[in-house]
Amino acid sequence: MSDLLVTDIGCLVTNEVTIDGTPLGVIYDAAFEVTAGKVSWIGSRSEVKASDYQKIVSANGKSVIPGFVDSHNHLVFAGDRATEFSARMQGQPYAAGGINYTVEQTRSASNEELRKNTVALVSEGLSSGTTTVEIKSGYGLSVADELRSLEIAREFTEETTFLGAHVMPTEFKSAPEDYVAMVCGPMLDAVAPHAKWIDVFCDRGAFSPNQTRQILTAGIAKGLLPRLHANQLEPGEGIQVGVEFGAASVDHISHFDDSDIAALANSNTVATFLPGAEFSTRSKYPDARPMFAAGIKVAIASDCNPGSSYTTNMPLMIALAVREMFFTPEQALWSATKGGALALRRNDVGHLAVGAKADFSILSSTSYLHLAYRPGVNLVEQVWRNGNQVS
């Protein structure tokens, strides 16, 4: 007996290329079974064998998609920066320094306040279809505050990232090498048990390529896996450094050239675009087409953070990627699901196939195309994780 049958699915996106020869692996008039939180059978509705199910859910002819895998987020912080956003919309440029304001607010917040804010943001993402979320530290920037940020992040996800190298904290402005030494030493020692990933903001006003190398090397030696914030604010070595270290993903990549494409094309590193950051900083959107043309694996994520992208909404990221970055609707949906899973080196999420986690959303539309076609409209009707309805 299976726990659950989801049936009468007008259009089921599986991300299994073997099904219809396209990356989305669409099955029309589909159904699937769930046993112990995992997909145990998937196919055409007409092939469902009459059997016992504890529960049967009808999608009423609508679309079902894999849960979004939002692979880049900063959710442990206090306060907001609405005033900074307003000033930016009136012409002030975005700079990495605003992060230090959130650092002050975060340091003076209690664990309970930080946890409450994180709960709210994770639930917000869940209600718009995000079933796997990555969470970074990076607003503590002291040993104790980075540690508690990661302890809180771990309560919500196994995809936790140590980002002590987010920005140079104010008190280390005149001694940046001392801060790098602290990140690589006592801070890393304290946080390593609570983090899967190590990340560095490698960009103008943040950390140099050589500081980035030093920090990644230390993190890898402690058993963490590398990923990077790269080439958001200007062209630079970030993408190449990421590839050099075998990073699972290089994120932002608002600036890239042919040598960056060549490096990525010969690697296992995913190129993660964060269209919410361009939106919220009114920056020029990169054109993703050369990445797809080179066969590079691409992800999109919401980059939820209080400074440069205060949203958890993956459908909005899909709409922006399509409208502003020249993704096709199919490429955008794949990048928000399977692409995000690859960026986290996960095989069990981001697709629907036998053995995968039963993480999926039922949309209110008959086609997944509506995710890009109807921006700003909540099309996610039901969200299920591990075979249980969670929203």
Point out which residues bind Zn ion (CB under 5 A): 303
Task: Give the separation between CA 45 and CA 47, rounded to whole angstroms.
Answer: 5
Tell me 47's DSSP state: G
∠ CA 308-312-317, rounded to 5°: 80
Q: Is the Cβ of residue 162 or residue 384 nearer to Zn ion in the bound state? A: 162
Selection from 144, 189, 182, 148 nearest residue 165 by Cα? 182
What is the Cα–Cα distance from 77 to 13, expressed in whole angstroms?
35
Closest contact distance (angstroms) between CB of 303 and Zn ion is 5
When the beta carbons of 15 and 302 are compared against Zn ion, the nearer one is 302
- What are the beta bridge partners of residue 201? 229
CB of 163 to Zn ion, least distance (A): 8
CB of 199 to Zn ion, least distance (A): 8
Q: Taking a C-beta distance cutoff of 8 angstroms, is the pair 239, 203 a contact? A: no
Q: In terms of CB distance, is 145 or 251 closer to Zn ion?
A: 251
Residue 278 or 303 having the CB closest to Zn ion: 303
Rounded to a whole number of angstroms, the minimum distance from the CB of residue 301 to Zn ion is 9
Tell me the closest approach of the beta carbon of residue 74 to Zn ion, in angstroms: 6
**Are the C-beta atoms of 59 and 380 separated by less than 8 Å?**
no
Question: Among residues 15 and 269, whose Cβ is nearest to Zn ion?
Answer: 269
Q: What is the DSSP string of 80-108?
A: --HHHHHHHHTTPPP-GGGHHHHHHHHHT
If you ran DSSP here, which 8-state letter would residue 242 be given?
A: H
Torsion over CA of 316, 319, 325 and 330, rounded to 10 degrees? 120
C-beta of 5 vs 300, nearer to Zn ion: 300
Decide whether 70 or 303 has the Cβ nearer to Zn ion: 303
Q: Which residue is nearest to Zn ion (CB)?
A: 303
What is the closest distance, in whole angstroms, from the C-beta atom of residue 45 to Zn ion in the complex? 41
Cα–Cα distance measured from residue 136 to residue 340, given in angstroms and rounded to the nearest whole number = 15
Shortest distance, position 127 Cβ to Zn ion, whole Å: 22
Integer CA distances (angstroms), 193 to 82, 83, 197, 198, 337, in order: 34, 36, 11, 12, 27
